[in-house]
């Protein structure tokens, strides 16, 4: 049975002064051990948030790692530097693909670094609006998954603990959202892609999250889909009441699956 996961990406919000209090407030609101809960603060707040979440059962994730293990890369953070601060890491977020020009090959190398350092990677994939309107959403997402994993698989076995987050780019911060059926359809595409480059067993075991302006109002629609294993939360991840509602709904999914 796949894990049910809710991961919050705080993006470029909070400071080391206010992040610990917010993290503690969210942790207190999402005390649902049947759901894997992850908070991904800015790098500068990782230490403070890790200390604040110690003993709560809520994990800490980094928003990015570098594709090399060390070297002359000013301002960058390697996966090994995150030891003791995080146990998860986001790779391939759409904003980094857009703003930093990250390619699938580079993202695949980041997955390798995560595995080497014992971090669970959250691989983000998703299509632009023009790609969806042209009927190419499936092809785009399949290509992203297969290309990144092909790089990772050249370095070793299937990445331990991999999670894939489907985030349709056109639904991030635009007020538009995908339907639950749309998310489930792309989850099937993601698992088919994993099965193509790895194995059917790996595909069936890999959790797929939906991300794309998830809120307490919209979460139920996605979490009702058997192919969706949780939520990758943006703005709502900064609000304890929103996170409480999302994780609470995820807990219902986890219990239903366990009962089934």
Q: Catalytic amino acids?
A: 93, 167
Q: What angle do CA 128, 134, 136 make, to 5 degrees?
A: 65
Quote the CA–CA distance of 226 and 9 in Å, as a whole number. Answer: 23
Assign 124 to helix, strand or coil. strand
How far apart are the C-alpha atoms of 191 and 202, rounded to whole Å? 8
- In this structure, how many other beta carbons lie within 10 angstroms of the beta carbon of residue 70? 10
> How many angstroms separate the CA atoms of 64 and 62, rounded?
6
What residues contact 204, with CB distance under 8 A and at least 6 apart?
Answer: 2, 191
DSSP element (H, E) containing 61: strand 59-62
The candidate with the shortest Cα–Cα distance to 209, out of 192, 189, 233, is 233
Query: Which residues lie closer than 8 Å to 257 by C-beta, 6 or more apart?
Result: 1, 4
User: Terminal CA-to-CA distance of the chain, rounded, Å?
Assistant: 10
β-strand pairing of 230-233 with 59-62: unpaired
Q: Return left, alpha or beta for 94; rule: phi > 0 is left, psi -120 to 50 is alpha, else beta.
A: alpha
């Amino acid at each position: 049975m796949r894990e049910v996961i809710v991961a919050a990406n705080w993006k470029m919000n909070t400071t080391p002064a206010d992040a610990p209090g917010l993290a503690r407030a969210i942790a207190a609101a999402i005390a649902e051990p049947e759901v894997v809960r992850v908070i991904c603060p800015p790098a500068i707040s990782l230490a403070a948030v890790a200390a604040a979440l110690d003993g709560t059962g809520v994990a800490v994730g980094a928003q990015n790692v570098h594709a090399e293990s060390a070297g002359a890369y000013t301002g960058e953070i390697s996966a090994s530097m995150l030891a003791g601060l995080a146990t998860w890491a986001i790779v391939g977020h759409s904003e980094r693909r857009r703003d930093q020009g990250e390619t699938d090959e580079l993202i695949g190398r980041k997955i390798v670094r995560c595995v080497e350092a014992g971090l669970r990677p959250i691989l983000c994939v998703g299509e632009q609006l023009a790609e969806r309107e042209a009927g190419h959403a499936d092809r785009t997402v399949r290509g992203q998954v297969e290309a990144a994993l092909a790089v990772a698989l050249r370095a070793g076995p299937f990445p331990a603990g991999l999670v894939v987050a489907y985030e349709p780019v056109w639904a991030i911060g635009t007020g538009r959202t995908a339907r639950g059926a749309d998310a489930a359809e792309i989850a099937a595409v993601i698992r088919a892609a994993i099965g193509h480059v790895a194995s059917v067993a790996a595909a069936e075991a890999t959790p797929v999250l939906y991300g794309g302006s998830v809120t307490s109002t919209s979460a139920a629609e996605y979490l009702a889909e058997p192919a969706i294993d949780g939520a990758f939360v943006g703005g709502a991840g900064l609000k304890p009441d929103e996170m409480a509602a999302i994780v609470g709904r995820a807990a219902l999914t986890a219990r239903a699956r366990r009962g089934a």
